[in-house]
Amino acid sequence: MTTLQVYSFSFNNPERKRRMTDRFRAVGHPVQWVDPVPLTDPRIGSEDKRTHAIMYNHLDMIKAFLNGGADYGIFCEDDIFIRRDFATSVLVAIDGYRRLGADVMLLGYLPNYKAFTYSVNGNHSLVEPPFAFLSVFPDLWGSQMYMCDRAGAQRLWDACCTAERVSGPFSPDWVLTKFGKAVAIYPMLAVEEGVVVTDHVGQRNFHQVCLTENFDKDLHI
C-alpha cells in the first residue's frame, strides 16, 4: 500500500494554519506541521533573510519527510485551496510521477491563464478531467504544492540543503520546483488563495489573476 504524508509550515498566522488544517482533514490527509524558521536562524546569512527563511522551511519539510516512513511527501505553503477530490486525484499524480520517472512534480503553481480549455458558445471552461502532465519550463513559477518520492526527495536534499550548494537565488521557486526532471500536473490539485504580502502592485495583480483563472468554488475547498 502506497503511503502519503502532507507537510506544511505557517509563520505566525494561526488563521491560515486553521484553514489548511480543516481543508486537509476534510479530504482525509492531515497535515504534519514543521516549525517556522525565524530570521534569526543560524543557517540564514546576511542577504535576503526572508527568502532564505522560506527556503529553509521548505527544506525542513523535506527533511521531516525523509525522517518519516511515508512513500510520498507533499510539501505545501499555508495559503492554498485544494481539490475536494484530493484523495483520488492525488493517486493520479502519483501514477504520473512513477511513469514519468520524475524527481519533483508540481501540484500547485501560478499559471495566469487556463492551459487547456474547451469552448461552448464562446465560453471557455477548464478541461477537467482528465489530467495532463507538463514539462516545467523556466518561467513557470510557484511552490504552492509539490510532491516527491523518497528517492527524489533525497536527491533534492543532497543537492540543495544549504545555500552554499546552490548557484543562483536560494529560493524554492528557483531551485526546488525546477530540480532534475520536474513535471507539473494540470489541472492543479491546489490553487493559491491569491493574497501575497508585497508592496509590488504587479505581483499582487499577478497572484489575483492566477486565483481568478484557476479557482472553482464547486471544485476547491
Cell 510532491 -> residue: 147
CA distances to 3, 97, 124 from 157, rounded to whole Å, are: 20, 18, 41
Name the least confident of 91-100, 106-115, 154-163: 106-115
Q: Does 11 fall in a domain?
A: yes
Residue 63: pLDDT over 80: yes
CA separation for the pair 216, 16 (Å, rounded):
19
76, containing H or E segment: strand 72-76
What is the domain count for the chain? 1
Percent of the chain clearing pLDDT 90 (strictly above): 77
Is 122 a member of any domain? no
198 in a domain, yes or no? Answer: no
| More confident of the two residues 72 and 196 | 72
Task: Give residue 82's pLDDT.
Answer: 98
Of 21, 25, 5, 158, the residue nearest 68 (C-alpha):
5
Q: Which of the four pLDDT bands, split at 50, 70 and 90, describes residue 202?
A: confident
Q: 128 pLDDT band (50/70/90 cuts)?
A: low
From 43-57, 66-80, 85-99, the region with the lowest mean pLDDT? 43-57
Specify if 165 maps to a domain.
Answer: yes
Q: Specify the range with the lowest mean pLDDT, choosing from 53-62, 83-92, 162-171, 195-204.
A: 195-204
Query: What would the mean pLDDT of 34-38 be, rounded to a whole number?
Result: 97
pLDDT at res. 113:
79
Residue 210 lies in a domain: no
Rounded distance, CA 78 to CA 86, Å? 16
How buried is 86 (Cβ within 10 angstroms: 0-12 exposed, 13-18 middle, 19+ buried)?
buried
Give the DSSP letter string of 82-123.
EBTTHHHHHHHHHHHHHHHT-SEEEEE---SS-SSEEEETTE
Which has the closest alpha carbon to 181: 218, 148, 214, 215?
148
The pLDDT tens digits for 40-51 are 999 998 778 999
Domain containing residue 39: 4-109+131-193
Q: What is the CATH number of the domain that holds 142?
A: 3.90.550.10
Residue 198 pLDDT: 66
Q: Is residue 215 part of a domain?
A: no
* 3 within 8 A of 69, measured Cβ to Cβ: yes
Residue 13 resides in a domain: yes
83 is a domain residue:
yes
Does residue 159 have a pLDDT over 60?
Answer: yes
Looking at residue 112, its amino acid is N
When pLDDT is cut at 50, 70 and 90, the band that residue 127 belongs to is: low
Mean pLDDT score of the chain, rounded to an integer?
Answer: 91
Mean pLDDT of 144-155: 98
